Structure 1
Amino acid sequence: MANDKDAEIADAKAFVEANNVDTLRVGAVDIDGVWRGKQFGTEYFLNAVAKNGTNISNVLFGWDVADEVVEGLAYTNWDTGYPDIKLVPDLPTMKLIPWEARTAAVFCDMRSIDGDPLNLSPRDILRSAVDKANGMGFVPKAAYEFEFYLFNGTIAELAENQWRDLKPLRKSGYCYSMLHHAGSEDILGQIRNQLRSAGIEVEATISEHGPGQHEINLKYSDAISAADNAIFAKYAIKDIASKNGCTATFMAKPNAVWAGSSGHMHMSLSAFDGKPAFANSNDPKMLSEIGMSFLAGMKELSREMSAIYLPNVNSYKRTNGGSWAAANSSWGVDNRTTSFRAIPSSGPAARVENRIPGADTNPYLVIATSLLSGLYGIENGLKAGEPFKGNAYQATAAQARPLAGSLEEAMGLFQQSKVVRELFSEDFVNHYVQMKKWELRRTNTHITDWELGRYLDII
């Protein structure tokens, strides 16, 4: 292992020298999907951080997206003093940030000060899920599709106006429109080219339904790399938009009448020899028996996993309004109204698309949850039943169980599920639920413009 680490450090040094890098951004993703970390000069990074990691406060697991300290957490709190944990660089993930001069990034694993994995770390949760798949003889692959909005104005300018009167970069929203895509190509072209320079392949960018809304499709890769790439792509899109005087958002529903932003995730399994496990040479119009059991597991546990797929209060503004957003446990063959879209093939393209998650989700947790649910289906020989044909938004509860309708309901389902506690650690489930309780408390203390407009005069 020491020799492997030495070889990785040597490769990192060669990368830094070949690309004249002088700054390393080193970080890990917290439970909310926010990439957090530190910046180092290359000399200190190579001589110290690359081998030993860097200490950082475990408050990374103790605050919310607004950096407010969360009350009631067992893992870390004011009484524990928010002590250090370690960020340990995964050196093969080093990649350039091409739009920043002489700068590169490295993804990290989180460890205790003693070097033990943290069962709250999303990347470690995904790694454990991949290890389980490997133990069953499978190699999981995944790919992300993100929808996002581009607004005129910087974050500072939008905040100064209290996030009101948001002006989309492109006023009209015509899906697949070449004309409207071209109107934003100055930024989208930068995004594609810069991600390609960073080693992330973008299969396509697409003009979407909402005004100023776009979609980006990332090429599939192994499960952990897919999550790393998804985080890096979100970071790139936000940063590149900012440098162009714009703001990109991945929140699920930034406007009540606009289309929501999805974060669809495609997944497949293969054997160690590369043979695709979901391919069905006997019937190319249907997934293999393993693929169908995997899909059945995702379908069976989708309601209990709503808290992962729909993690924020705003997430439910997207799913409760229909408009291409999954709302139940339905599945179909190449049917985009269902939550799980089977995409059969006689070759490696055979896969399942999870259409429930929004763009606001944590990619590590979404991929891990989908994988663990699918493996649960294989282990238990689950059957998916008949595919839904027609408009799945009109499915009855008997035909397809509804997903949670609110974060409060989702939190309760997640907390009470025995299967959830079997698939994740007790510590993670309890911590995650407490984080969501806090989010609900913060939501319930704020007065919205809608409330003022509805009640102030008439009541």
Structure 2
Amino acid sequence: MSEITTRAELLGFVEEHGIRTVRVGAVDIDGVWRGKRIPVQYFTDSVWEKGTQISNILFGWDMVDELLTGVEYTGWHTGYPDVTLKPDLSTLTLVPWEPHTASVICDIEELDGTPLALSPRRLLRKVLEDAADLGFSATAAYEFEFYLLRQSPGDLHRSGFRDLEPLTHGSRTYSLQRGTATEYVLGEIRERLQTAGVYIEACNSEHGPGQFEVNIHHDGALRAADHALLLKNAVKEIAAQHGHTATFIAKLDAAWAGSSGHVHQSLWCADGTPAFACANPCRLSETGAQYVAGLLTLAREMTAIYLPTVNSYKRTEGGSWAGASATWGRDNRTVAVRSIPAPGAAARVENRIPGADANPYLVIAANVASGLHGIRHRLTPPAEVTGNAYELPNAAELALPASLDAAVEAYAASPLTRELFGKEFVEHFATTRRWEISQFGKAVTDWELRRYLEVI
């Protein structure tokens, strides 16, 4: 990531690295990075400062470009006019796996310069402004799990996404031997991302065949979301260059482990001290406890953000180390919110509900907004879970929504989501999730064919 603020500095960066093309893009509701490749001359002459126009259809279709119905913001009734992608030069970085190329993440504005309320990156900015008003800054770090498949994306399309072959077979979690066999991909991902300014602290083989985990170094919350976006794109693109496919789907196969997107997070006071730190190394500060209480109070309302697809709920069904209840505990991996106390900067919490399929900007925004709600209202967390959260006597009472249908209704009906995110965003996001549900409802699945075709 860069510290470029002037055109002269930009031209120096371009000359130093031999840049010919700049990838300019912004994230949509589903977390897909969309944009354009722009010749460097046009970027340095104009786009770096004025931005570039793109149709607001980015918020009028779904992740596979099918036009949404029932969306107020844009559609046939508006003619799908332009919005502006405005580069945030602090995100300008190299794309080491694409020669002579740089990328920059954009904010989205209406043509009159008004920030777009539906933009996930803008929503996160707003939440962080709320944190600053309370005297805090937020840091975050993502842990992603994903699968590598031996087939290329083209192979998968031609096979109808059947007969998936993972890059490795069996469960070999933390296996260093297995890591050696896959280092030609994972090692390149680590090294290329570090050149792009995204530092991976560690990576390892995970519980599923062909499944891996990467841990991104913590940073300010906005930059943490930017890093998560860059990482997901890098993993997919580098895997494709090796003839493989990387996927962050939450549940790839019923028999395989799900893929999570756990988020570590903490607040810092204006004087630079860690707000969650406590002299007692076994607990968080009062501020940290209130933050945890906020996360749990709003967990049901925010489940649709954390688990945004129909598939997401296949991961949380039955436990399997996925946060599926409004619970917390100290260093407990069966709860939704894992408390990690410390007397210093390491004090933090981990939200274990989100899947790898969720939009990082929305997930971090939902976490920080929920935690701030707990601090504002001085909420007290419920009793700590010290055992298996999946087997609590009141597990059903604490359970989070078990389907996207239920999660969307909890999200849309809550006055708190409107208070924290604004009516326009809440209603738009709910409409997109209901659309996702309706699309699945029309599908004829392999399960239905296997179960009904011959027998009935």
TM-score range, shorter chain: over 0.9
Tell me the CA shift for residue 150 of structure 1.
Answer: 0.2
Residue equivalent to 2:101: 103
Deviation (angstroms), 1:458: 1.9
Does 2:281 align with 1:284?
Answer: yes
Q: Once the 2 structures are TM-superposed, how far is the Cα of residue 220 of structure 1 from its aligned partner?
A: 0.2
Instruction: Work out whether 1:316 is the aligned partner of 2:331.
Output: no
2:155 equivalent in structure 1: 157
Residue equivalent to 2:50:
52
Q: Which digits, 9 at most, give the CA deviation of each residue in 1:190-209, with x for residues without a partner?
A: 00000111111110001100
Q: What is the alpha-carbon distance in structure 2 between the residues aligned to residue 278 and residue 9 of structure 1?
A: 40
1:235 is aligned to: 233
Q: Please tell me whether the aligned partners of residues 389 and 395 of structure 2 are also in contact (alpha carbons under 8 angstroms).
A: no
Unaligned runs of 5+ in 1: none
Helix, strand or coil for the counterpart of 2:6? helix
Q: What is the CA–CA distance in structure 1 between the aligned matches of 2:360 and 2:195, rounded to whole Å?
A: 22
Further displaced range: 42-51 or 178-187: 178-187
**Residue 211 of structure 2: aligned partner:** 213
Deviation at 1:400, TM superposition (A): 6.0
| 1:444 aligned counterpart, secondary structure | helix
Alignment of 1:8-23 (within 5 A): 8-23=6-21
Q: Distance in 1 between matches of 2:27 and 2:7?
A: 22
Pairs aligned (count): 454
Distance 1:213 1:247 in 2: 12
**1:440 aligned partner:** 437
Task: State the shift of 1:397 in Å.
Answer: 3.7
Distance of 1:396 and 1:363 partners within structure 2: 33
Q: CA deviation at 1:223?
A: 0.5
Q: Is the 8 A contact 1:310 1:361 kept in 2?
A: yes
Structure 2 CA distance, aligned partners of 1:233 and 1:162? Answer: 27
Amino acid corresponding to residue 404 of structure 2 in structure 1:
L
Q: How does 1:103-182 map to 2 (within 5 A)?
A: 103-182=101-180
The amino acid across from 2:406 in the alignment is E
Deviation at 1:394, TM superposition (A): 1.2
* CA apart distance, 1:11: 2.5
Deviations 1:123-153 (A, max 9, x none): 0000000000011100100000000000011
Listed as ranges, the matches of 1:48-447 within 5 Å are: 48-281=46-279, 283-397=280-394, 401-447=398-444
TM-score by length of structure 2 reads 0.98
How far residue 273 of structure 1 moved from its aligned partner, in angstroms, is 2.5
How far residue 181 of structure 1 moved from its aligned partner, in angstroms, is 1.7
Could you say what the CA RMSD is over the residues aligned between the two structures, in angstroms? Answer: 1.2
User: What whole-Å deviation, never above 9, does each CA across 1:156-194 have from its counterpart, x for those lacking one?
Assistant: 111100000100000122111111222211100000000
Q: CA 1:398 to 1:236, structure 2 compared with 1: closer, same or farther past 3 Å?
A: closer
SS in 2 for 1:144: strand
**Separation (CA, whole Å) in 2 of partners of 1:369 and 1:455:** 41
SS at match of 2:105: strand
Assess if the C-alpha contact under 8 Å between 1:34 and 1:65 holds in 2: yes
Aligned mates of 1:250, 1:381 — CA distance in 2: 36
Q: Counterparts of 1:263 and 1:234 in 2: how far apart (Å)? A: 11
| Equivalent residue letter for 2:225 | A
1:6–1:181: structure 2 CA closer, same or farther, 3 Å change rule?
A: closer
1:449 pairs, out of 431, 446, 450, with: 446
Give secondary structure in 1 for the equivalent of 2:301: coil
Cα offset for 1:326?
1.2
Q: Deviations over 1:388-437 (max 9, x none)?
A: 01101112446862111100001100110011111111011111111111
Equivalent pair of 2:4/2:90 in contact (CA under 8 Å): no
User: Cα distance, 1:79 vs. partner?
Assistant: 1.4
Matched to 1:348, the amino acid is A
Letter in 1 for 2:380: K
Q: Using the alignment, how far apart are the partners of 2:418 and 2:320 within structure 1? A: 32
**Alpha-carbon distance between aligned partners in 1 of 2:395 and 2:101, rounded to the nearest angstrom:** 54
